[in-house]
C-alpha cells in the first residue's frame, strides 16, 4: 500500500509540482525535489497513522455539572480566540489571565492576510475594525548596497468582493478587543490570577491550581480539558513540549511618528548590514521599526542605532527614525525558535507561542495561532465529551498533521530560512541573498509564488521548497555568468558551495517540522 501511495504521489508531483523558473535555470532539479518532498510527506503521514495508539489513563475524578468544560491559561491572541469560539459552541470556559491590563509589546502587530481570513472564520473580524489599524497590501524591499528596491504586492485574489490585505495595529488594542469579545460570551468566566500548577490524577490533567490577584491563597479549579496558552515565556512549556527554545537574535523596537511611506499601505523591509530592518505603519500616526540584532547586544543601543543603522535606511525614514531613537522609547525582544513537538498528555493541549515559535521577520505568528484555533474548533465539535481522552489524543494527531499541510510548515520554515538569507554572514549565502532580490525583480510567479507563501494565502510546502531552490539555482546562474570561462573550476566550486549552503539552511528546518511525524 505504501509503495502505491508513493508511486501515485510521485506521478502527481511530476505533473503538477514543478515550479516555474526563469529561462536560464533548469527545472529538472526542482521537479526532482518536489517528488522527494511528496514521497517524504507520504511516508510521514502513513507512519503517523500507523503508530501504536496510546491508551488514555482512567481516573476517578468526576467533574461538577456547574464547573467549566474547558480551562484556558492565558488570554493573549490564541487564548482569547479559543475561549470565544468554544463558548459559542456551547462549552463552559474559564480563562485564567495573570494581568487584565492592556499589554504593551513591540511585536504581534502585523496580521498577514491568511490571519485576517482565519479571524473571519472564527467570527472575530470586528476585533480589528476600531483600532485605528493600518491596511497592509504588500512590501517594499530595499537593497541598500545597490540603492534599489522592489515592490512585492500581495497576490490579487477576490474574497467576498474585497481584495485580500493584511492589517497592522497596536498589539495591546488588539488583545483588549479579543478579550472584550470573550467576556461578552455568557459561557465565559474570567479569573485574574496566576496559574501555578497543573493538577493531575492517574496521569491525566484534571484542573489547575492558581492564585487570584492580590491574594496569597491558592485555589483549585477542575475541568476535563485545559488549554495552556501562556505565551513565549510559558511557565508550563518544560513539562508539555519536547523541544527547547532557541533564541536566534533580538529585535530592537521603537515607534516613529508621521513617517512617510515609500508606497502607500506597504510595509518596508530594509536589507541592511548585518541584519534586516522591518518597518510598517500600525496606526494613522505611528510606524513601528524593528531592527534585528544578532549575537551580543551593543552596550549603548541608542548610539548603535544612530551611527550604524540610521545611515543605512532609506532617506524618507532616516529623520523620523533618529527622532524616535532620541526622544522615544527603545525596547528589545528576543526572537525565538521552537519547533512544534507536543507531548500527548491526556487532559491538556498547548497552543500559541507556548507550543511553536519562529523568527518574527515575516509576521506570521498571530496568523499561525489563529489558524490553529480554526482547526481545534472544528475538531472539538466532533467530541461531545471532553473527558474522552482517547478521542482528544486522536484529534491532537489530526491537528498536528493538518496544521502542517495548511499553514505551519510554510510559515515556520519560510520565516527562519528568509532570516538566514537576509542576515547572511558567509559569502555563499550572501550570493543567495542577492539572487533572492534579483529573483523578485523578475516579477510574475517569481513574486506571486513567494508572496502567496508569506501572506499565508497559499501555504503549500512543495511551493516553498521549489522557490527556495529556484533562488539557489539562480545564484548559481549568476556565478557562471560573472566568471570567465577559464575560471570554470572555481565557478563549479562556488556553485556547489551555494547549493550546499542552501541545503544547510533549509533541510534542518524541514526536519524540525517533519520529525514528529516520522518518529514515534
Question: Are the beta carbons of 172 and 104 closer than 8 angstroms?
Answer: yes
R_g of the chain computed on alpha carbons:
24
The burial of 294, by beta-carbon neighbours within 10 Å (0-12 exposed, 13-18 middle, 19 or more buried), is given as: middle
What are the DSSP calls for 131-199, one per residue? Answer: S--EEE-EEEEEETTTTEEEEEEPP--EETTEE--EEE--HHHHHHHHHHHHHHSTTEEEEEEEEEEEE
**Cα separation of 463 and 476, whole Å?**
20
Average pLDDT, the chain: 88
At 43 the pLDDT is 54
* DSSP summary character for residue 305: I
Residue 410 pLDDT more than 70? yes
pLDDT band at 493 (very low <50, low <70, confident <90, very high): very high
Q: How far apart are the first and last CA of the chain?
A: 20
The burial of 158, by beta-carbon neighbours within 10 Å (0-12 exposed, 13-18 middle, 19 or more buried), is given as: exposed
Residue 297 grid coordinates: 547586544
The residue ranges of every structural domain in the chain are 2-49+424-518, 70-133+169-244+338-406, 249-335
**Cα separation of 515 and 520, whole Å?**
9
Between residues 50 and 348, which one has the greater pLDDT?
A: 348
CA atoms within 13 A of residue 352's CA, in its CB half-sphere: 23
Question: Are the beta carbons of 422 and 471 closer than 8 angstroms?
Answer: no
SS3 labels along 359-428: CHHHCCHHHHHHHHHHHHHHHHHCCCCCCCHHHHHHHHHHHHHHHHHHHHHHHHHHHHHHHHHHCCCCHH
At 59 the pLDDT is 52
**Cα separation of 159 and 466, whole Å?**
27
At 156 the pLDDT is 78
What is the three-class DSSP state of 477? helix
Question: For strand 158-159 and strand 138-143, is the pairing parallel, antiparallel, or unpaired?
Answer: unpaired
- Summarised one tens digit per residue, pLDDT across range 219-249 is 999 999 999 999 999 999 999 998 999 999 9
Task: Identify the CA nearest to 356 among candidates 453, 229, 254, 454.
Answer: 229
Same fold, 70-133+169-244+338-406 and 249-335: no
| Residues whose CB falls within 8 Å of the CB of residue 322, separated by 6 or more in sequence, listed in order | 306, 310
Query: Which pTM was predicted?
Result: 0.86
Q: What is the mean pLDDT of residues 14-19?
A: 40
Grid cell 560573472 is found at: 482
At 19 the pLDDT is 39
Between residues 324 and 51, which one has the greater pLDDT?
A: 324
**Cα separation of 32 and 10, whole Å?**
9
pLDDT band at 182 (very low <50, low <70, confident <90, very high): very high
The third-level CATH classification (topology) of the domain covering 249-335 is D-Amino Acid Oxidase; Chain A, domain 2 (3.30.9)
At 392 the pLDDT is 96
φ and ψ at residue 166, rounded to 5 degrees: -95, 180
CATH 3.50.50.60 fits 70-133+169-244+338-406, yes or no: yes
Question: Percentage of the chain surpassing pLDDT 70?
Answer: 86
**Cα separation of 386 and 384, whole Å?**
6
Residue 8 pLDDT more than 50? no
At 55 the pLDDT is 45
Amino acid at each position: 500500500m505504501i509503495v502505491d501511495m508513493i508511486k501515485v504521489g510521485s506521478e502527481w508531483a511530476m505533473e503538477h509540482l514543478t515550479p516555474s523558473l526563469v529561462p536560464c535555470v533548469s527545472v529538472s532539479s526542482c521537479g526532482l525535489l518536489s517528488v522527494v518532498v511528496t514521497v517524504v510527506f507520504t511516508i510521514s503521514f502513513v507512519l503517523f497513522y500507523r503508530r501504536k495508539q496510546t491508551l488514555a489513563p482512567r481516573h476517578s475524578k468526576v467533574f461538577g455539572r456547574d464547573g467549566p468544560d474547558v480551562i484556558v491559561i492565558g488570554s493573549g491572541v490564541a487564548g482569547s480566540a479559543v475561549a470565544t469560539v468554544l463558548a459559542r459552541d456551547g462549552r463552559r470556559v474559564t480563562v485564567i489571565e495573570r494581568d487584565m491590563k492592556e499589554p504593551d509589546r513591540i511585536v504581534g502587530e502585523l496580521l498577514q492576510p491568511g490571519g485576517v481570513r482565519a479571524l473571519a472564520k472564527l467570527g472575530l473580524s470586528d476585533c480589528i475594525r476600531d483600532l485605528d489599524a493600518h491596511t497592509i497590501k504588500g512590501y517594499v524591499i530595499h537593497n541598500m548596497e545597490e540603492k534599489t528596491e522592489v515592490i512585492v504586492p500581495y497576490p490579487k485574489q477576490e474574497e467576498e468582493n474585497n481584495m485580500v490585505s493584511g492589517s497592522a495595529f497596536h498589539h495591546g488594542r488588539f488583545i483588549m478587543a479579543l478579550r472584550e469579545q470573550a467576556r461578552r460570551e455568557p459561557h465565559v468566566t474570567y479569573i485574574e490570577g496566576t496559574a501555578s500548577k497543573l493538577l493531575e490524577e492517574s496521569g491525566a490533567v484534571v484542573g489547575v491550581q492558581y492564585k487570584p490577584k492580590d491574594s496569597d491563597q491558592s485555589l483549585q479549579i477542575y475541568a476535563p480539558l485545559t488549554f495552556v496558552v501562556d505565551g513565549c515565556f510559558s511557565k508550563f512549556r518544560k513539562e508539555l513540549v519536547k523541544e527547547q527554545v532557541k533564541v536566534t537574535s533580538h529585535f530592537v523596537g521603537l515607534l516613529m511618528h508621521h513617517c512617510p511611506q515609500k508606497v502607500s499601505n506597504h510595509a518596508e523591509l530594509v536589507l541592511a548590514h548585518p541584519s534586516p530592518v522591518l518597518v510598517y505603519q500600525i496606526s494613522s500616526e505611528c510606524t513601528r521599526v524593528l531592527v534585528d540584532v544578532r549575537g551580543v547586544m551593543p552596550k549603548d543601543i541608542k548610539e548603535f542605532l544612530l551611527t550604524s543603522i540610521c545611515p543605512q535606511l532609506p532617506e524618507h525614514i532616516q529623520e523620523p527614525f533618529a527622532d524616535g531613537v532620541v526622544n522615544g522609547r527603545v525596547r528589545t525582544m528576543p526572537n525565538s525558535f521552537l519547533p512544534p513537538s507536543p507531548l500527548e498528555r491526556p487532559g491538556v493541549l498547548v497552543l500559541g507561542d507556548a507550543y511553536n515559535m519562529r523568527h518574527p521577520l515575516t509576521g506570521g505568528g498571530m496568523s499561525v495561532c489563529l489558524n490553529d484555533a480554526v482547526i481545534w474548533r472544528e475538531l472539538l465539535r466532533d467530541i461531545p465529551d471532553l473527558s474522552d481522552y482517547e478521542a482528544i489524543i486522536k484529534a491532537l494527531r489530526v491537528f498536528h498533521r493538518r496544521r502542517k499541510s495548511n499553514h505551519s510548515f510554510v510559515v515556520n520554515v519560510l520565516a527562519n530560512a528568509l532570516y538566514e538569507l537576509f542576515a547572511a554572514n558567509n559569502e555563499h549565502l550572501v550570493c543567495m541573498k542577492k539572487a533572492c532580490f534579483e529573483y523578485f525583480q523578475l516579477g510574475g510567479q517569481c513574486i506571486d509564488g513567494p508572496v502567496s507563501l508569506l501572506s499565508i494565502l497559499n501555504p503549500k510546502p512543495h511551493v516553498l521548497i521549489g522557490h527556495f531552490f529556484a533562488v539557489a539555482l539562480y545564484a548559481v546562474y549568476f556565478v557562471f555568468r560573472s566568471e570567465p570561462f577559464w575560471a570554470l573550476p572555481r565557478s563549479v566550486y562556488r556553485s556547489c558551495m551555494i547549493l550546499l549552503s542552501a541545503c544547510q539552511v533549509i533541510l534542518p528546518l524541514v526536519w524540525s517540522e517533519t520529525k514528529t511525524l516520522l518518529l514515534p
